[in-house]
Amino acid sequence: MEINFFKINPKKILFIPIFALIFLIASRINFSPLLGVQNQYFTLNQLLGPIAGAFLGPLVGAISVLLAQIVDFFIAQKTFDWVNIFRLTPMLFAAYYFGKKDSKFIALVPIFCMLLFIVHPIGNQVWYYSLYWLIPIVAATIFSENRIAKSFGATFTAHAIGSTIFLYTIPSTPILWQTLIPIVAFERTVFALGIWFSYLGMNTLLNKFEHYLPQEALHIDKKYVISKSNLKILAG
CA distance 189 to 48: 15
At 94, is the pLDDT very low, low, confident or very high (cuts 50, 70, 90)?
very high
Top pLDDT among 230 and 226 is at 226
User: Each residue of 159-183: pLDDT tens digit?
Assistant: 999 999 999 999 999 999 999 999 9
pLDDT value for 64: 92
Q: Which SS3 state, helix, strand or coil, does residue 87 take?
A: coil
At 3, is the pLDDT very low, low, confident or very high (cuts 50, 70, 90)?
very low
pLDDT value for 8: 62
CA distances from 173 to 24, 34, 162 (A): 33, 16, 16
User: Each residue of 195-224: pLDDT tens digit?
Assistant: 999 999 999 998 888 888 777 778 888 888
CA distances from 135 to 154, 166, 236 (A): 9, 20, 18
pLDDT above 80 for 7:
no
How many residues are recorded in the chain? 236
CA distances from 228 to 135, 148, 196, 225 (A): 31, 19, 18, 10
Class of domain 9-224: mainly alpha
Q: What is the mean pLDDT of residues 32-51?
A: 74
Q: What is the mean pLDDT of residues 105-131?
A: 95
pLDDT value for 111: 95
CA distances from 44 to 27, 31, 171 (A): 6, 6, 27
CA distance 39 to 208: 39
pLDDT value for 45: 84
Q: What is the mean pLDDT of residues 130-137?
A: 96
Q: Are 50 and 28 in contact (CB under 8 A)?
A: no
pLDDT value for 9: 67
Question: Which stretch of 82-96, 115-129, 188-202 has the lowest confidence by average pLDDT?
Answer: 82-96
pLDDT above 50 for 6:
no
Mean pLDDT score of the chain: 85
pLDDT value for 5: 43
Rounded to two decimals, the pTM is 0.86
Q: Which residue blocks in the chain are alpha helix, DSSP H?
A: 10-13, 16-27, 45-48, 52-56, 58-75, 82-86, 89-99, 108-119, 134-141, 147-169, 174-208
pLDDT above 50 for 2:
no
CA distance 63 to 103: 18
